[in-house]
Amino acid sequence: MKKYYIVVLSLLLFSACNDWFDVAPKEDYIDEEALFSSESAFRNAMNGIYTEIRDRDLYGANLTLGGVEFLGQTFVPDEALKPISDFNYESSLVRGMASGIWVKMYHAIYSCNNLTRLLQKKKEVVFVEGSREMMLAELKALRATLHYELVRLFHPSVTADANFKGVVWMEGTKAEPLSLTNLELVTKIVQEFTAAIDELKKYDPISTGESYNTDALFGTKPADRVWKMNYYAALGMKARVSLVLGTSAGYTDARSCADAIIDDGYFAFATTAGTDLGFSVEHLWGLAPADKDFSVLSNELFAERGIPLSDVVDAASWKASAADDLRFKWFKTDLVSMLPKFDSTSLVKDSETSPRIPMIKLGEAYLIAAEAALQQSDLAGAYGYLSTFINKRFSRTTLTEHSTPEEFRAEIRTQYVREFLGEGQLFYNYKRWNLSSIPSYTGGSTDMTAAKYTWPIPVN
């Protein structure tokens, strides 16, 4: 009888020439035939994957507010966090973070693959019509997202080195990795999103408006789907990944996905913050926080350790030029720290729960569309996206339809600095733009190299 393994997954890095991983589980197993005998068991297992990725080694800290954010230079690190901001990848801090990210991300990928296998195998289990199909598509898009998270941290940008090899594609539960070049891997990830989106559009309640909830099953009504990888989230992720290709087709694809999100009108911008200081109404997808959630991490960093905003944010000048910008509600009144965005006083709209971990937001769809339009030499289109976004933030811009491409690029970069504070997104965009220098938390700028943009892959 087959067994379903949980808890412990050993990922062993073989020699560089093999460059693949033993993902076979080693211990702590239970009988999968007994466990996966109802739809509720599958839904619980799906919830377990989201619990995995909200761990502090992943999106609960290292890939967001507590780690990668400091690569973007938006905060002045204390001595403990300085190795991250200084790109000291040989430090014990960063090496430990890299190892935790690498192992736990592949663990989560394995979980996606195994649940996919079981969904395809256990045909005798009765599901609410359409629910099985939705879950399979959700897993496909989630697996693509997790692979891309590894790629954008441990690979150079595609446009800088298309032939780099490092992260491998894992699709099954046996150690049969697919070794692809940087470009091939990103292209495959885009293809996976395309296939998932087609299915999610047909079966995801957020798209169809129909719930799969029953008396014994909850969590799939349309409003609940924003807590998980859903149709709009997959569109947003595909747009994000397509943009990095740096090709005409990539820009067209990215803009098309962003337009689908914007034109459907399912999500709207916050108009007043109220107690929803993280603007959860704009989250295409946000992870439920763990017990030690973003509020705890935020308090630790900003209240207890006194981590301040850096001059990269230039909050004083920003305030002087756009005093009504809603994003100032994220900061303390002295504009030195960001605590309220993830503070315990910030509650997710409707559910009144702790702040979600934002994975992808409506604002990014506008910024992606604007950048894609700019790359297509459609300055009027770029202005339309940017001006709408900035107006929805109750902010201001000096851009006009007749501004130069470089002025558009500068505004897009400014908005990335402001929009994603604490979310760990800025560094990846600097990398995607292949900037030879970036603003530094120390003042001035810091020269960037391929080595600074690319985390070393952990080795045993």
305 CB neighbour count, 10 Å cutoff: 12
Cross-strand pairs, 31: 3
Mean pLDDT of the chain: 92
179-217 per-position pLDDT tens digit:
999 999 999 999 999 999 999 999 999 999 999 999 889
Confidence of residue 292 (pLDDT cuts 50, 70, 90): low
CB 71 within 8 A of CB 427: yes
Q: 314 lies in a domain?
A: yes
Return the CATH number at 168: 1.25.40.390
pLDDT at 437 over 90: yes
DSSP conformation letters of 411-430 = HHHHHHHHHTTTTT-HHHHH
Comparing C-alpha atoms, which of 394, 270, 254, 306 is closest to residue 81?
Answer: 306
- Positive or negative, the Cα torsion across 204, 208, 209, 211? negative
Residue 222: give the domain boundaries. 3-453
Which sign, positive or negative, has the C-alpha torsion 258, 70, 298, 357? positive
Per-residue pLDDT tens digits for 126-153: 999 999 999 999 999 999 999 999 999 9
Q: Pick from 51, 63, 57, 93: which is nearest to 422 by CA?
A: 63
List Cα–Cα distances, 72 to 52, 106, 135, 294, 424, in angstroms. 25, 25, 35, 19, 7
CA atoms within 13 A on the CB side of 445: 8
Distance CA 350, CA 358 (A): 16
- As given in the structure block, the two tokens for residue 323 are 């005093």
Which range (25-39, 58-72, 342-356) has the least confidence? 25-39
Contact 164, 431 (CB under 8 A): no
This prediction has a pTM of 0.94
> Confidence band (pLDDT; 50, 70, 90) for 2?
very low
The answer to the question of residue 228 being in a domain is yes
Residue tagged 């441990």 (tokens): 154
Total residues belonging to the chain: 460
Judge whether 227 lies within some domain: yes
Going 62 to 11 to 238 to 243, the CA torsion angle's sign is positive
Q: How many domains does the chain have?
A: 1
Provide the 10 A C-beta neighbour count for residue 443. 9
Instruction: Indicate if the pLDDT at residue 378 is higher than 90.
Output: yes
DSSP code, position 178:
B
Locate the DSSP E strands across 28-161. 29-31
DSSP conformation class of 308 = P
Residue 223 lies in a domain: yes
Span 20-36, pLDDT tens digits = 344 434 444 556 777 89
Single-letter code of the amino acid located at 94: V
Question: Residue 60: which of 26, 24, 108 has the closest Cα?
Answer: 108
pLDDT bin (cut points 50, 70, 90) of residue 14 is: very low
* Nearest C-alpha neighbor of 110 from the set 22, 37, 28: 22
What pLDDT shows up at residue 459? 84
